[in-house]
Amino acid sequence: MRPGLTDRRQRVERRLFDVHARLDRARAELAIVEEQLAAFTDAADEARIRMLVSETAQADRDWNEARRHSEVMARSRDAARAAVAELERLQDELLSQLLS
């Protein structure tokens, strides 16, 4: 193997190692966000039921606040999913470079 190819391969391997570590962290973060989203969604569902049953202004405010928290967490989940997908794409690209 020519020296230039060895250097290139080493750079790709280093980047691949870095991307893999970032992907592991991103997947762990996604799992946490998904758990939090489930909790926020459950809380919003319960607040909605309380709002429907009690028909008070406070119950309506509580439901709106819980719903907003759930929506924010859903956006965080979507961003975490996009980050994982991008890192998986980059990892696949680097693997392809190693094979070529």
Domains in the chain: how many in total? 1
- The predicted pLDDT at position 44 comes to 95
- Token pair listed for 58: 């406070």
Average pLDDT of adjacent 10-residue blocks, the chain of 100 residues: 75 96 98 97 95 92 95 98 98 92
Domain that holds residue 42: 3-99
Q: What is the dihedral of CA 9, 12, 18, 24, to 10 degrees?
A: -100
What pTM, to 2 d.p., does this model score? 0.83
